[in-house]
Amino acid sequence: MTVLPVLWKGYVIGKRLMGIKIKRTDGGDVTFANMILREVIGNGLLVFVTLGISLLISAVMVLVMEDRRGLHDLIGGTYVVYSR
């Protein structure tokens, strides 16, 4: 899940089917560094260190915040946008 969005311009199979993709906050395509921060640090290490509490915080952020960005998006400098 870290390399595929870089090669496919922000898509993975599930996101492509749902018509959404990952973009950088400056509007550009995601880079390998963005995806490492987003997936490995934000969705991996942070969840492990906080014993899953960061997942709950991230879910609340996506539901409540206007820009709908979770912790992994803030860490990676990314957001998810409709592509259709």
CA-atom Rg of the chain in angstroms: 12
What's the pLDDT score for residue 84?
76
Q: Report yes or no on whether pTM surpasses 0.85.
A: yes
Tens digit of pLDDT at every position of the chain (84 positions): 789 999 999 999 999 999 999 999 999 999 999 999 999 999 999 999 999 999 999 999 999 999 999 999 999 999 999 987
Residues contacting residue 18 through CB under 8 Å, at least 6 positions apart: none
Helix H segments across the chain?
Answer: 4-7, 13-18, 32-35, 46-49, 53-64, 71-76
In terms of residue numbers, what domain contains 61? 4-82
Cα dihedral 59→74→80→7 (10° resolution): -120
pLDDT given at position 2: 87
Look at the chain and report how many structural domains it folds into: 1
